[in-house]
Amino acid sequence: MDLCNLSVIRGLMSEAGINFRKDYGQNFLINRMIPEDIADNCADTADRMILEIGPGIGCLTKELALRFKKVVAVEIDKGLIPVLDKTMAEFDNVTVINEDIMKVDLAALVERYSEGMEVSVCANLPYYITTPILMYLLESGVKLSTITVMIQNEVAARLVAKPGSSDYGAITAVLGYYGSVRKLFKVSAGCFVPAPKVDSAVVRIDLYDEKPYQPKSEELFRSVIRAAFEMRRKTLLNALSAKLPYSKELILEAIRSTGHPDTVRGERLSTEEFVRLADYLYTNS
């Protein structure tokens, strides 16, 4: 069964009495090369568990099942479960879970299904909730080796942006703490049904085994980044002074410790420099 064929998709959905749900960000792939390319590039070895978020009718799930030892697919839409039962029936290495990924106990899920194997995440993400899902995965504390996701092209540009560019933001700086990101390829809106308004891109995050920089307080590190980008037109000094409970003098010293001028804006600082700044505040307050 070609799960990227439009009439197959429509047939399966009408048989199940369901329609595309906009509130769940349902844009299904209709170009078979895309799930093949994503599955080919989402991890380096076959002996692993893949956590898929939002399998839809299973077009990417199938390609993952053909390449990896175990696939666990979490789908929020109850109406899609009978469809997946059917489309995944031939694969005994696929487990479908009807849940909201944001409510899943990731550690328990990995413990139950990974059998000690490495775990990677792979997904064509629902766009309404891309950043929360990424942050949820990164902050879960669960050991993941790669996260490969299809997201809006403009969000992809933010994830891979370099310090100083207009796309560089809080998510870029935070992500740099967890791993390295690269954009794999762009996907045009016409490859989906219904077609979204904007193009998409696939990015892969390779999580660090050992993080290169370890802030003394993760909470403070995150607060500093949040404050720096909440008021991105302001200088870093003014943005941090407005939001953080430290004197302007101390914040200025902390900024100077990064080697940047007093008037620098937050978007100029790399992840490592944010760590240094946060550590200075932590140690000297």
> Of 26-34, 173-181, 237-245, 274-282, which segment contacts ligand SAM by CB under 6 A?
26-34
Q: Are strands 118-124 and 48-53 parallel, antiparallel or unpaired?
A: parallel
Compute the least distance from the CB of residue 214 to ligand SAM, in Å.
31
Residues 6+ apart with CB under 8 A from 13: 19, 20, 57, 83
Q: Of 47-55, 174-182, 183-191, 231-239, which part binds ligand SAM (CB under 6 A)?
A: 47-55
From 97-105, 108-116, 157-165, 272-280, span contacting ligand SAM (CB under 6 A): 97-105
Please tell me the number of Cα atoms within 13 Å of 283 on its side-chain side: 11
Provide the β-strand partners of residue 207. 179
Out of 49, 50, 59, 205, name the contact with ligand SAM by CB under 6 A: 59
Taking the C-alpha atoms of residue 238 and residue 13, their distance in angstroms, rounded to an integer, is 54
102 binds ligand SAM (CB under 6 A): yes
How far apart are the C-alpha atoms of 187 and 200, rounded to whole Å? 5
Contact between 153 and ligand SAM (CB under 6 A)? Answer: no
CA of 80: how far to CAs of 84, 130, 144, 215, in Å?
A: 6, 20, 27, 43
Site for ligand SAM in 112-141 (CB under 6 A): 124, 126, 129
We find the least distance from the C-beta atom of residue 229 to ligand SAM, in angstroms, to be 25
Are the C-beta atoms of 130 and 191 separated by less than 8 Å? no
Min separation Cβ 203 and ligand SAM, Å: 15
87 belongs to the binding site for ligand SAM (CB under 6 A)? no
Q: Which residues, listed in sequence order, are joined to residue 181 by a DSSP beta bridge?
A: 205
Residue 61 in contact with residue 38, Cβ under 8 Å? no
User: Which range touches ligand SAM (CB under 6 A), out of 27-35, 108-116, 153-161, 223-231?
Assistant: 27-35
Q: Smallest distance from the beta carbon of 61 to ligand SAM, in angstroms?
A: 7
Q: Is 63 a residue that touches ligand SAM (CB under 6 A)?
A: no
- Residue 48, C-beta contacts closer than 8 angstroms, at least 6 positions apart: 68, 69, 70, 117, 118, 119, 120, 145
Measured from the CB atom, is 27 or 114 closer to ligand SAM? 27
Q: Which residues bind ligand SAM (CB under 6 A)?
A: 24-29, 53-56, 59-60, 74-77, 100-102, 124, 126, 129
